[in-house]
Amino acid sequence: MSNVIFPTAIFLISLLFRSYNLTSTEIYPDEITWTVRSREAFLAIKTNNFDYFKSAWWTKDTDTEAINLPQTIISGASIFLLAKGQPTHYSLELFSDFIAARIPIVFLTSIFIAIFYFITKRITNNKYIALLASLLLSIDPTSIALSRWLLVDYPLTIWMFLAISSFFLIKNIKISIIVSSIFISLAFLTKPTGLILFIPLFLSKQYKTIITFFCFLVFAKLLWLGQEGNIIIDMYSYIFNQFQLSNNSFITFFNGKITSNPPFYYYVQQILTRLPIIIISSLLFYPIFVKKKILKNKKLLTIIIPLFVISYILILSIPAKKLGIRYIFPVIPWLYLFSGISIYYFLNKLHKFYKTIAIISIFAISSTVSLFYFPNYYIYRNIFSGGPKIVQSNEVIGLCMGARSSILNLINKYPDIKSVAYLGCSKSTLPYYTNVTISTDWKTERFVIVEESMKLLSPNLEEIIYFNNKKPIYINDWHGVVLSRIYDNLELEK
């Protein structure tokens, strides 16, 4: 019975957190790009215009671009089926295009967490460890946040997790090779970092890994639309170009300083501040519990998966471009597995009554914390770091966020407003919320909205210096985190 009840409950809880009031989650600027690409890619397939893919976004050599074909095709189909104003008789005309594009990610991630339960149960041979790890992952604020945006990070995580799991857990070697190579190709065709998973694969029998690699090339060749030349040469050229571009300077604000190359420990610090305290603390005891308690799949849990986690973090720590925990999210489900093992064996030491109280408390507190951050889950920082309000003085929080709440507040107070100046990276999202004319002309517009992240990243800009010591008419403050400020030039001139 638990084989049905547990995964069903996990799926429904995951779906509830990810789908509830989906429109309230602000549009991230990258979502606009992926929504447009999804619509175009699906239309190209629908009309048999495969020449479109020969000059698609990943062929450009001027910026880092994930291929992200699996997600764009799935979201493109959802747009044509569910979005309003589509050139097809089959559209149900239910949602705006960006919500229709998000819906597959919501369902895909919710289904994944239910699958995560089955896989962790298979690895540990313990349904309660699997239940603990899965439920905690389902209510993790960062996991929820990335499930509500049309970005590449969660799909990449899913394909990589399934690739490693199918390679090491499927007993039939032929099926294992075929299934894992399909998932590896999906991971690569999402983002080139997907190939990092070959590192732990080489700890298996070498002939199996080599055959899997060649099968991966076959599936990648079949699935990589627009790819016509030598698959190995094209793959190498793409990866080399992406690595070169990832070393280009990208300004960020970290540890209280503006930098184009955050320190090597950047992602470790992200993990320590972004994962809930119970996960961080339980990870400390994982080596003890896994050594003493786990008998099945010991090599997988003590060598192979830890090697993948460490390798992934180390490799992504090399380039200068480092941008938040979502870039290393593929390691997070594995950390939840480790944590689930530690929490389970720690709770087993308690009396049954206290164990029940502890389990209820863990999920009640974790759920409450996540709900507290609705709908801006990505802002979450744990109490170990001092919380997002404290962290904001040392790190950019709420990058490209605050546009919606700022413009709606301004319109509510000044309903006759015709135009506004907006200074910040989420300027491109404003047309989704209002018909007010948006510009960057901060000198002539009466109202000016300034994103807080822009003040941190570009303190020497003329406009930032000008508004620095001016009093705003409204501060867009969300649980202590300042997202943006609104200024009235008429008031400033008095």
Judge whether 31 and 149 are in contact, CB under 8 Å.
yes
pLDDT higher than threshold 90 for residue 173: yes
pLDDT higher than threshold 90 for residue 243: no
pLDDT higher than threshold 70 for residue 156: yes
Q: Which pLDDT belongs to residue 295? A: 66
- 253 occurs within a structural domain: yes
Torsion of CA 279, 281, 285, 287, to 10 degrees: 60
C-alpha to C-alpha distances, 421 to 70, 346, 396, 477, nearest whole angstrom: 37, 55, 22, 19
pLDDT higher than threshold 60 for residue 494: no
pLDDT higher than threshold 90 for residue 319: no
- 386 occurs within a structural domain: no
* Distant-in-sequence, close-in-space partners of 313: CB < 8 Å, separation ≥ 6: 267, 268, 271, 328, 331
Q: Which residues pair with 482 in a beta bridge?
A: 477
Domain with 136 in it: 2-370
37 and 186: one domain? yes
Could you give the angle at the alpha carbon of 412 between the alpha carbons of 406 and 416, nearest 5°? Answer: 110
341 and 236: one domain? yes
Q: Which pLDDT belongs to residue 493? A: 63
pLDDT higher than threshold 90 for residue 335: yes
Residue range 328-351: mean pLDDT, rounded: 94
410 and 469: one domain? yes
Maximum Cα interatomic distance, the chain, rounded to a whole number of Å: 78
159 and 240: one domain? yes
360 and 426: one domain? no
456 and 331: one domain? no
201 and 341: one domain? yes
Judge whether 494 and 471 are in contact, CB under 8 Å.
no
The rounded distance, in Å, linking the Cα atoms of 236 and 255 is: 35
63 and 142: one domain? yes
User: Of the ranges 88-97, 312-321, 435-444, which one carries the lowest mean pLDDT score?
Assistant: 88-97
CA-based R_g, the chain, Å: 24
pLDDT higher than threshold 90 for residue 42: yes
- 381 occurs within a structural domain: no
Residue range 347-375: mean pLDDT, rounded: 89
Phi, psi of 473, deg, nearest 5: -85, -15
Question: 170 falls in which pLDDT band (50, 70, 90)?
Answer: very high
Q: And the tokens for 372?
A: 């507290």
Question: ω into residue 70 within 30 of 0, thus cis?
Answer: no
Question: 276 falls in which pLDDT band (50, 70, 90)?
Answer: very high
- 80 occurs within a structural domain: yes
First and final C-alpha spacing in the chain: 72
Buried b (16+ CB within 10 A) or exposed e, 95-131: bbbbbbbbbbbbbbbbebbbbbbbbbbebbebbbbbb
Q: Which pLDDT belongs to residue 60? A: 82
What is the dihedral sign for C-alpha 343, 345, 348, 349?
A: negative
Q: Which residue has the higher pLDDT, 91 or 477?
A: 477
Q: Which pLDDT belongs to residue 2? A: 66
Which helix (H) or strand (E) segment holds residue 214: the answer is helix 206-223
pLDDT higher than threshold 70 for residue 472: yes
Measure CA 294 to chain center.
Answer: 31
Look at residue 448 and give its three-state secondary structure: strand
Mean confidence (pLDDT) of the chain? 91
Half-sphere exposure of 429 (CA within 13 A, CB side): 24
Half-sphere exposure of 174 (CA within 13 A, CB side): 0
Q: Which pLDDT belongs to residue 204? A: 84
User: Of the ranges 52-56, 86-90, 341-345, 462-466, which one carries the lowest mean pLDDT score?
Assistant: 86-90
C-alpha to C-alpha distances, 468 to 67, 149, 446, nearest whole angstrom: 40, 32, 17
Residue range 252-281: mean pLDDT, rounded: 93
436 and 364: one domain? no
- 384 occurs within a structural domain: no
Judge whether 434 and 474 are in contact, CB under 8 Å.
no
- 393 occurs within a structural domain: no
Q: Which pLDDT belongs to residue 93? A: 84
Residue 378: which of 317, 424, 324 has the closest Cα?
324
Residue range 248-263: mean pLDDT, rounded: 86
364 and 420: one domain? no
- pLDDT, tens digit (0-9, with 9 covering 90-100), for 380-428: 999 999 999 999 988 989 888 889 999 999 999 999 999 999 999 888 8
Name the domain boundary from 370, 392, 427: 370
- 394 occurs within a structural domain: no
Residue 447: which of 478, 417, 405, 475 has the closest Cα?
417
Residue range 284-305: mean pLDDT, rounded: 85
Q: Which pLDDT belongs to residue 393? A: 86
C-alpha to C-alpha distances, 296 to 124, 126, 300, 301, 379, nearest whole angstrom: 6, 10, 9, 9, 38
213 and 312: one domain? yes
- 391 occurs within a structural domain: no
The rounded distance, in Å, linking the Cα atoms of 11 and 314 is: 32
Judge whether 283 and 384 are in contact, CB under 8 Å.
no
pLDDT higher than threshold 80 for residue 108: yes
Judge whether 286 and 339 are in contact, CB under 8 Å.
yes
Number of domains forming the structure of the chain: 2
Q: Which pLDDT belongs to residue 452? A: 92
415 and 362: one domain? no
Q: Which pLDDT belongs to residue 251? A: 85
The rounded distance, in Å, linking the Cα atoms of 405 and 396 is: 19
388 C-beta neighbours (distance < 10 Å), count: 22
